[in-house]
Structure 1
Amino acid sequence: MKVAMAGQRVRRDRGRRALARQVCRAGGLVLAALLGLAPPCAATARADTTPPPAGGPPATVNLQIVGGLAGVTQYTNYEQPFWEKEITERSGGRIKATIRPLDAGGLRAEETLQLMRLGVVPFGSASLSRVSSDDPELNAFDLPVLNPDMGTLRRTVGATRQHLTDYLLQRYDIVLLAVYAYPAQVIFCTKPFSGLDDLAGRKVRTSSVGQAELMAGLGAVPVLLPFAEIVRALKSGVAECAITGTLSGYEIGLPGIATHVHSMAISWGLSFFGANRAAWDAIPPDLQEVIRTGVADLERRVWIQADTDTQRGLACNSGGATCGETIGEMTLVPTSPKDAARRERLLQEVVIPRWILRCGPSCASAWNTYLAPVHGIHADRE
């Protein structure tokens, strides 16, 4: 096992070096130009800082930001107005920023970590589930069924935040500035079910390796599909159930296709926002503090909205009075004591062991240090 894990890490490191060479040559210049971002190597990554003349006004900076996913509430209502207007107001006009969504301009979410490390993306967001294909340890905070509700998610992130801060800085030269949460991802089905065990034998749309392993552990058949194909898959029978966001499921019309929705959160789509260390160090300390304070407040608002949207999505799908819009008629399946016990067994027997198998002994140590005290589950080294 140790030899296999060492081989996996060698292959990942080779891939990182290959990407570095590719980006730092002409390809990186093309991508940087396409995105309107910074020069493509960490050694040259800098914020666009205008120093003051002698005795003149304080320095100003211009930032290029890669935000979250386009078209969702987090980006349109929070990130975009924060960077395009609020940060300028908070800094008295000394900080100006432009922002592009993560899924615009040909940027692959899986490569965000490396592009931030290299400085191609000086300030950006990264989906932890997407970049965990390159670094499985980053999936620890949002493993399937680890955080069945918002309260548990907050405890998990609180317990691991310093570790994530240190890990990103030491391994990727990224300064962590915020952790964002999207609304909960839950299970929708086109036929009745009363709990997790009823999913056995059903084809379930998943979006990650961890979700697929979870469904297999329940005896279901995981079907890996992108978000855009959920409706077609459920209508055609390619999938009988789907894991997706409570509110996004409502917005794409699942109340007219699915009949039941479970209340337990499977995942939350956690992401982080950070800065390339060289770009961050180029910013005057007083403006660094403005950014840290502002982004911390932005994070607080994003989390409140994620919780609100989770509950609103469930209400809109199942006819709840708090929806405020056209409401669906799905049956809301509550998390029963049987489901809660099943979740614990799945974590102990499937989710955590499979994750450690992909990630290695260091991940087991990190789990036992930071997350075992929160979740009461000890991880065995493979």
Structure 2
Amino acid sequence: MKRLLAAAILASVTGASPLLAADLPKTAVNVVGNLSITTQSRNLEAPFWQEGVVKASNGAVTANFRPWNEMGLKGPEVFGFLGKGVMNIATAQLGHHSGAAPINDGNDLAGLSKTFDEFKAASVAFFPALSDYYRKELGLHLIALQSYQSQIMYCRDPISGLSDLKGKRIRSSGASQADFINHFGGSGVDVAFGEVQQALEQGVIDCAITGTLGGYTARWHESARHLYTLPINFGSGATVANAAWWDGLDPAVRSFLTEQIEALSEEMWALNRKENEIGINCNTQGPCPLGEPAGMTRVEPSEADFELRREALVNAVLPGWVARCGDVCKTAFNDHLAEVTGLTIQ
């Protein structure tokens, strides 16, 4: 499977025009990549930077690539270091950066999108708002947005729906997930990804939220035996450049990298759509192409849960987001997301 995915991404990035590749000046890029345990990092992003861009540019563009977790980082520091020029390009999860800049939650607020199609539409619509903010406020250039799998709940004890969250301590990622959990009487807890398994095992937390496949590969199922499959949100990722470095590139290199990274991001969207159900199957009864099914109990959301989900968005998540972010987020939502979501923030 890894070889097939790697071959697919190499094929997708080697379609650059020979004339364009021949005209590119020599360019070395320092890249910090996504969480290395994710398949989109291992099977798409790593081969893209280590082999794909080199081949597509006829050797003109080379990259020094390392995932952020292999650098000893926890996630929320990535864009801060990028703005200081520590690296040239980075891919990271926007939820990790919503504390410093709440606008990062905009296209993936908890409860906003029920499906990948809705999430993709929200991401496309919100891209200009994020791009403008990154340039003006952070000194960054937004290149592309990506998805993860749907963010679902892994729980130690039986759970039947959202009404069971009351009194539970739940590992969340980002303030909007915490607002969502708090609305139902639970408590959002900040736990680093690599520490979640131990926290579940020791009972420090009752549940934890992450992607359908990420939790399987991290073996959360060893302590959490109940998988509640309601998408809380989807986990938005972004590939971003230091704006000063980006602006100093040859225009042909900027065009080349934009085209290649946008193609990579589309591969990530497609992979996560495919792996979403694979992750659920691997955590539960299978089939699982990645290993033994974990045997967790699969808990499907009811129609009432989807209604409660929307209620939490309107009554807790959106007000909390605007309270943290102010008019900049309110205006960005109404200008870019009102049409695709059917909601307006008053």
Q: TM class, shorter-chain normalised?
A: 0.7 to 0.9
| Percent of residue pairs identical | 31
Partner residue, 1:124: 90
Residues 315 and 323, structure 1, Cα contact 8 Å, conserved in 2:
no
Q: Could you tell me whether the CA contact under 8 Å between 1:207 and 1:224 is conserved in 2?
A: yes
Match of 1:44 in 2: none
Show CA shifts across 1:260-294 (max 9, x none). Answer: 21222223332211222232233222222221111
* 1:306 corresponds to: 272
In the comparison of the two structures, how many residue pairs are matched?
325
**1:300 Cα offset (Å):** 0.8
Q: Which amino acid aligns with 2:230?
A: M
The answer as to 2:110 corresponding to 1:144 is yes
**Cα pair distance change 1:129/1:322, threshold 3 Å:** same
Is the CA contact (8 Å cut-off) linking 2:155 and 2:225 kept in structure 1? yes
Name the residue aligned to 2:159: 193
> CA distance change for structure 1 residues 315 and 167 in 2, over 3 Å: closer, same or farther?
same
One of 256, 260, 265 as aligned partner of 2:226: 260
Structure 2 residue 78 is matched with structure 1 residue 112 = yes
State the one-letter code of the partner of 2:286.
G
2:25 aligns to what? 59
SS in 2 for 1:328: coil
**Cα shift readout 1:31-62 (whole Å, capped 9, x = no counterpart):** xxxxxxxxxxxxxxxxxxxxxxxxx9862111
Return the letter of the residue paired with 1:70: S
Aligned partner of 1:250 in structure 2 is: 216
Q: Would you say 1:360 and 2:326 are equivalent positions?
A: yes
Aligned to 1:343: 309
Q: 2:91, 2:239 within 8 Å by CA — same for their partners in 1? A: yes
- What residue number does 1:375 align with? 341
Inter-CA distance 251–359: structure 2 relative to 1 (3 Å threshold): same
Unaligned runs of 5+ in 1: 1-55
Structure 2 counterpart of 1:166: 132
In structure 2, how many angstroms separate the alpha carbons of the residues matched to 1:259 and 1:103? 27
Asked if the contact 2:37/2:214 (under 8 Å) is kept, the reply is no
**Residue in 1 aligned with 2:35?**
69
Q: Which protein has greater RCO, CA pairs closer than 8 Å, 6+ apart?
A: 2
Q: Which moved more, 1:99-108 or 1:190-199?
A: 99-108
Alpha-carbon spacing, 1:114–1:251, altered in 2? closer, same or farther (3 Å): closer
Aligned to 2:299: 333
Distance 1:223 1:63, change over 3 A: closer
Change (3 A) 1:57 1:239: closer
Q: Contact between 2:180 and 2:316, CA under 8 Å: does it hold in 1?
A: yes
Contact 1:313 1:323 in 2 (8 A): no
* Matched residue, 1:215: 181
Q: Does 1:321 align with 2:287?
A: yes
Give the match's secondary structure for 1:166: helix
Residue identity in the other structure for 2:316: V
1:291 correspondence with 2:261: no
C-alpha distance in 1, partners of 2:153/2:122? 22
SS in 2 for 1:130: helix
Computing the radius of gyration from Cα coordinates, the structure with the larger value is 1
The more displaced of 127-136 and 275-284 is: 275-284
Aligned mate of 1:204, from 170, 190, 201: 170
Instruction: Kindly report the root-mean-square deviation, in angstroms, between the aligned alpha carbons of the 2 structures.
Output: 2.1
* Gaps in structure 2 of 5+ consecutive residues: 1-21
Among 273, 277, 286, the residue aligned to 2:239: 273
Give the whole-Å Cα distance in 2 for the aligned partners of 1:223 and 1:108: 15
Normalising to structure 1: TM-score of the pair? 0.79
The correspondence for 1:182, drawn from 148, 158, 164, is 148
- CA gap of 1:336–1:283, structure 2 versus 1, over 3 A, is same
